[in-house]
Amino acid sequence: MDDCLFCGIVAGRVPSEIVHESERTVAFRDIAPAAPVHVLVVPRQHVDNASSVGPEHAEDLAAMVVAAREIAEAEGIAGEERGYRLVFNVGRDSANSVPHLHLHVIGGRQMSWPPG
């Protein structure tokens, strides 16, 4: 999609700090990090958000979670003594702002639950 910000990053039209790529995904550092590690994993194929996901997106979703684990390992936050949070925001109450499916990989500091 020509007017989609994250499609622009996937296509290389919009600059970003890419940290991981796979056949189905691209991952880059969040422009407004909420923690020392804050990476967004997106499918190369445009999907609006997690509420638009169907069975046809199963391989993209699996690839996104695998990418998240590989990023956590590379960033040194994998393993039971560290850990990380994976977040999909959907809709206004969640503060979802970019309409291209993205998985937040957040870590590198102690977090509380429930989130604010």
| Residues assigned a catalytic role | 102
Q: Where are the beta strands (DSSP E) in 1-116?
A: 18-21, 25-29, 37-43, 84-87, 103-107
Q: Is 58 left (phi over 0), alpha (psi -120 to 50) or beta?
A: alpha
Q: Which residue, 30 or 48, is less far from ligand DGP as judged by CB?
A: 30
Residue 22 in the binding site for ligand DGP (CB under 6 A):
no
Residue 5 binds to ligand DGP (criterion: CB under 6 A): yes
Q: Least distance in Å: CB of 50 to ligand DGP?
A: 10
Residue 16 interacting with ligand DGP (CB under 6 A) = yes
